[in-house]
Structure 1
Amino acid sequence: MKSTNFVIALLLFATALTANAAPLLNGLALEQQFNKDRYIAAVYSERLSGDANALLDNNQPRSLQVRIIADRLSARRFRNQWMEGIAINNPGNVLTGQAENMVTFANMFKGRLMAGDQLRIDYAADTGTTSVSLNDIMLGMIEDREFFNTLLRAWIGPVPPSTDFRDDLMGSGQVNSGLLEKYEALQPGADRVAQITAMVDAQEAKEEAAAEPAPQKAEPKPAQVVAAPKPKPDLSADIPPPSLAAIGAPAIEKPASAPAKPAASAPVSQPKPLKPTTTRPATPMDEELDEEEEEAPLTADMILARQIYHSMLLRHTFKHINYPKRAQERGQEGSVRLNVTIDNKGNVKTVSTLQESRYSSLNREAVEAVERAGPYPATPAQLKIDEYNFTVPITFRLPD
């Protein structure tokens, strides 16, 4: 009897542990830019899966984590690149509904991220709350059940930073042991933790001071006309469908005997592992990392304007991409990611390669496509900027 009770107790204890277990490591992905390691991203989930829909299940706790490898990384650039991914991997109605939350999220990123920093974004399935912390110091919380998936789609949606990046995050628990060892070794020092703590405390004090009403003399106020709130723009017609088929060239035929299917119906295939290299002179981001100038306060309208504009720029670029004939004949496929800077009139100022495929013809065509696409549509007036920087992910894929 005692042994039976002991077994039951063990089973109950194991069940309790399982119920309160932290999400499991689903996959790790290395982000490289200009052939330099920038950070390692991780997706944790209660249930391991290689299916995007399963990882987007709101009924399970999940976590996104980023550990910084680079000596320093502009928090603003990191944030803006994530916002670009959000814009092209979420439907227009989601972007509109999450605009205010995106402002809250974006304003959490200040200054620089440093080597060893650990950014953590946790989703609580019971409350639907997303919490954001840096080096275990809380930056903020967003109480919206749909917000976490808005972030996650930027990583595992149809147009991720790269196909390798997405596939590695969807590894169902199968991760590279060397990358895992490097990931676990990335830890912030005590001085860095103290620095973040002081930064957060100063920001909270600033917000509290701003919230206190200033003493005013009681004076009669003139009657004011209250303007009706502006409706949020409908993005359904402005955001192009985020699919790899939309990024590839027009329908093409594979060489040899296999009959080609229409490119629009081609399934997304698993890419070959491609290690980014830099063969074309690129402009490093090191100078940009030193920028500390103040930017205009972000608003929901500004977030939406940037997202609409970014999608417009991508759609404009895709019209000018041609799949190199020689690459088609040789069955060459790959992904390229470019960093583009244009002035406020849409003229191309610089084009540099963040990540390349293994084939020079595809890399060259991606750069030339951007050059052919200029001038781009002018920047929206509400952004009030002299130049605009954006990334262009291009996937060359032959139909099956």
Structure 2
Amino acid sequence: MFQTAIRRALPQVLLALASIGAVGASAATIDVAGVKLDDGIELRGSKLQLNGAGVRYKAVFKVYTAGLYLGKKVGTTEEALASAGPKRITVTMLRDIDANELGKLFTRGVEDNMPRNEFSAVVPGLLRMSQVFTEQKQLKAGDTFTVDWVPDTGTVVTVKGVVQGEPIKEHAFFNALLRIWIGPNPADWKLKDALLGKSA
């Protein structure tokens, strides 16, 4: 009788243990303005961790949530730029925005954060990025795009889950994009601090 009770209870016990295991195995997430970001991801076989995440504000309006993924946590712009291996910037829109306008803002952000004599080297990549956003026309609240640096491949831009064209080979281009958010004249100072792990 006792053994029969155990046999009957066994499926429920195993199910409960499986559920606990599944919860333990799943990646932790953080919530930033309603956007869930995984604490760790895998990119082209490399494990990356969320260095920091925050919200880009324009005046009092929330524009997008951004997250920076690196191989190991850093606290300065220089360390982030020099970080080895794959990297990812992820952006999720918090409001509808004209994609072409966003592309122009990115170009201005690159120009504001690098020496004038180095800017010409990244112009071809910026023209490609501008074309990507022009073709998108509009990004709606909830839409996500990622910009990945993959060694030996280049910068890979993915919009709403679709890779956009061929990778942009030059590492300088990815770092120029990264400086939009964490350079000397960032798009949003609070977001810069958040991406570098200096604030929640």
Same fold (TM over 0.5): yes
User: Aligned-pair distance for 1:58?
Assistant: 5.6
From 126, 132, 135, the equivalent of 1:108 is 132
Q: What aligned pairs does 1:342-353 form with structure 2 within 5 A after superposition?
A: none
- Which stretch of the first structure deviates more once superposed, 53-62 or 131-140? 53-62
Equivalent residue letter for 1:146? A
Decide whether aligned partners of structure 1 residues 29 and 75 sit closer, same or farther in structure 2, where only a CA change above 3 A counts: same
1:80 maps to which residue? 104
1:164 maps to which residue? 190
Instruction: Indicate whether 1:142 and 2:163 are aligned.
Output: no
Aligned partner of residue 108 in structure 1, secondary structure: helix
Q: What aligned pairs does 1:347-366 form with structure 2 within 5 A after superposition?
A: none
Instruction: Indicate whether 1:27 and 2:18 are aligned.
Output: no
Instruction: Indicate whether 1:52 and 2:77 are aligned.
Output: yes
Aligned partner of residue 91 in structure 2, secondary structure: strand
Aligned partner of residue 81 in structure 1, secondary structure: helix
From 181, 187, 190, the equivalent of 1:155 is 181
Q: Specify which structure has the higher proportion of strand.
A: 2
1:132 maps to which residue? 157
Aligned partner of residue 109 in structure 1, secondary structure: helix
Distance 1:100 1:41 in 2: 24
Higher relative contact order (CA 8 A, sep 6+): 2
User: Aligned-pair distance for 1:62?
Assistant: 0.5
Decide whether aligned partners of structure 1 residues 128 and 149 sit closer, same or farther in structure 2, where only a CA change above 3 A counts: farther
Equivalent residue letter for 1:155? W
Query: Which 4+ runs in 1 deviate beyond 2 A?
Result: 19-22
User: Aligned-pair distance for 1:145?
Assistant: 2.0
Distance 2:188 2:125 in 1: 26
User: Aligned-pair distance for 1:117?
Assistant: 0.6
User: Aligned-pair distance for 1:164?
Assistant: 1.1
Q: Deviations over 1:3-33 (max 9, x none)?
A: xxxxxxxxxxxxxx9x933321111121122
User: Aligned-pair distance for 1:37?
Assistant: 1.4
Instruction: Indicate whether 1:36 and 2:52 are aligned.
Output: no
Contact 2:71–2:83 under 8 Å retained in 1: no
Contact 1:56–1:149 under 8 Å retained in 2: yes
Q: Deviations over 1:50-72 (max 9, x none)?
A: 111110016321101100111x1
Aligned partner of residue 164 in structure 2, secondary structure: strand
Contact 1:58–1:145 under 8 Å retained in 2: no
User: Aligned-pair distance for 1:94?
Assistant: 2.0
Aligned partner of residue 23 in structure 1, secondary structure: strand
Unmatched 5+ residue regions in structure 1? 1-16, 177-400
Contact 1:128–1:145 under 8 Å retained in 2: no
Q: What aligned pairs does 1:1-400 form with structure 2 within 5 A after superposition?
A: 20-57=45-82, 59-70=84-95, 72-110=96-134, 111-125=137-151, 127-140=152-165, 141-171=167-197, 176=200
Distance 1:102 1:135 in 2: 20
Aligned partner of residue 73 in structure 2, secondary structure: coil
Aligned partner of residue 68 in structure 2, secondary structure: strand
Equivalent residue letter for 1:169? L
Equivalent residue letter for 2:190? D
Aligned partner of residue 60 in structure 1, secondary structure: coil
Distance 1:22 1:79 in 2: 29
TM-score by length of structure 1 reads: 0.37
Equivalent residue letter for 1:112? Q
Equivalent residue letter for 2:50? L
Corresponding residue pairs, total? 155
Distance 1:160 1:109 in 2: 20
User: Aligned-pair distance for 1:128?
Assistant: 4.8
Distance 2:47 2:93 in 1: 22
Decide whether aligned partners of structure 1 residues 58 and 101 sit closer, same or farther in structure 2, where only a CA change above 3 A counts: farther
Percent identity of equivalent pairs = 25
Aligned partner of residue 56 in structure 1, secondary structure: helix
Distance 1:157 1:109 in 2: 22
Aligned partner of residue 171 in structure 2, secondary structure: coil
2:25 maps to which residue? none
Q: Specify which structure has the higher proportion of helix.
A: 2
Unmatched 5+ residue regions in structure 2? 1-41
